[in-house]
Amino acid sequence: MTQQEAPVNNTPFSSEELEHFEERLNEELQDAEEKINSFEDRLSEIESKLDDTTSSSAHHQGNIASSEEEREKYYSMIEKQKEKIEEIKMAQDRIEAGNYGICNVTGDPIKKERLEIKPHARYSVEAVKSANNVEADTEINVNEPV
C-alpha cells in the first residue's frame, strides 16, 4: 500500500474489536446469501406450480393470483437481502479504509451496542432519529430500524 492508499484510521475501535466486527459482518453476509438461496428455491417451486396451474384451465383464478402474490413477496425478500449484502460489503470497505463505526451524517462514533445488533449500520441512532423528525429529503433512509 502506498502512503496515499493507507487507511485513515478514524475508527473508534481497537484491532481486536474490528476483527470481531469483521467476523460479524462475514456471518451476516453468509446468512443473507443463505436466505437468498432459500428464497430462490421457494420461488422456483412457486413458479413451477404456477406453470402447472396456468396450463390447467380447471384451476381457479384466485389460486393463480395467490401464487402471483407469493412470488412477488419472494422477489421482494430477495431484493432486500441483496441490498443488505451491499450494505455489508460497504461496512467491510469501511473497516479496510479505517473509518468503520463512524456515522456517515454526523461524523460521530456509532455506539458499539448498535453495531453489535446491526454491524453494517452507517448511521448513529441519533442521526436516524433526527432524520425521522425532519420532513425534508435526507441522505438517511428514515425507514431504517433504530
Contacts of 49 (CB under 8 A, 6+ apart): 67
- Sorting pLDDT into bands at 50, 70 and 90, what band is 102? very high
Within 8 A by CB and 6+ apart from 50, the residues are 64, 67, 68, 71
Q: Are the beta carbons of 33 and 122 closer than 8 angstroms?
A: no
Helix (H, G, I), strand (E, B) or coil at 34: helix
Q: CA triplet 116, 131, 129: central angle to 5 degrees?
A: 50
* pLDDT single digits (tens) 72-92: 999 999 999 999 999 999 999
Q: Max Cα separation, the chain?
A: 71
Distance, in Å, from the CA atom of 7 to the CA atom of 96, rounded to the nearest integer, reads: 7
Of the two residues 60 and 68, the one the predictor is more confident about is 68
Residue 96: per-residue pLDDT: 96
User: Which is higher by pLDDT, 131 or 4?
Assistant: 131
Summarised one tens digit per residue, pLDDT across range 36-64 is: 999 999 999 988 877 665 555 555 555 66
pLDDT in tens, 17-39: 999 999 999 999 999 999 999 99
